[in-house]
């Protein structure tokens, strides 16, 4: 098993945190992992993306050309990465900020009103966890409890007050795909 994932959006949307959390959860589960961040000219407001590769064997290269899973937080990320998602892959889109839909028939396209759901939870910064919860429900690379354990183990002390809201947001994202 080897899965290549891309997270992309504007700086400040929690793109890096979502990818890093997935990497920590996979590492804690005993899998091989790479996490490569990439920032645009500005950390907050500029473009940001990260690549996460998860495998049950040593990873030869962290480079990802055609991710099997792409989580895009904004329009520019959709425009750039939607054509690059591997055939048979998963594209999860924050429909709050991306009005367009994929026209590709060879991938699974999931639209999640993540910013709106996060706003209903009390903090639009939780949209990253809403998207991650939806992605892991659509393509269960790891179970959500593994992500919650990674939050417990790796969330910095200064952000511990956000532990429960992050878990709520993960569940809300999963619920988008499991509720009728």
Question: Global pTM?
Answer: 0.94
Range of the domain at 151: 2-178
Instruction: Report the CATH number at residue 80.
Output: 3.40.920.10
| Angle (CA) 104 22 144, round 5° | 90
Residue 15's nearest CA partner among 85, 70, 65 is 70
| Count of the separate structural domains present in the chain | 1
**Spatial separation of the C-alpha atoms in residues 9 and 46, rounded to whole Å:** 9
pLDDT recorded at residue 42: 53
**Spatial separation of the C-alpha atoms in residues 130 and 18, rounded to whole Å:** 10
pLDDT recorded at residue 46: 65
Helix segments in 29-162, DSSP class H: 75-81, 114-121, 127-138, 144-154
Run means of pLDDT, 10 residues per run, the chain, 180 residues: 96 93 98 91 71 97 95 96 98 97 96 97 97 98 97 92 96 88
pLDDT recorded at residue 41: 61
Helix (H) or strand (E) holding 94: strand 90-94
pLDDT recorded at residue 176: 93
Residue with tokens 């425009």: 79
């Amino acid at each position: 098993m080897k899965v290549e994932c891309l997270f992309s959006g504007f700086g400040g949307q929690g793109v890096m945190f979502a990818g890093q959390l997935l990497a920590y959860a996979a590492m804690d589960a005993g899998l091989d992992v790479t996490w490569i961040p990439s920032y645009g000219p500005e950390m907050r407001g500029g473009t940001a993306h990260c690549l996460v590769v998860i495998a049950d064997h040593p990873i030869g290269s962290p480079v990802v050309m055609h991710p099997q899973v792409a989580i895009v937080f904004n329009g520019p990320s959709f425009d750039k990465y939607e054509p690059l998602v591997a055939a048979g892959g998963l594209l999860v889109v924050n429909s709050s900020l991306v009005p367009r839909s994929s026209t590709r028939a060879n991938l699974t396209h999931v639209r999640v009103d993540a910013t709106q759901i996060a706003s209903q939870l009390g903090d639009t910064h939780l949209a990253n966890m809403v998207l991650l919860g939806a992605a892991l429900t659509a393509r269960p690379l790891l179970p959500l409890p593994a992500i919650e354990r990674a939050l417990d183990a790796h969330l910095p002390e200064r952000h511990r007050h956000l532990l429960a809201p992050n878990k709520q947001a993960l569940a809300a994202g999963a619920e988008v795909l499991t509720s009728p």
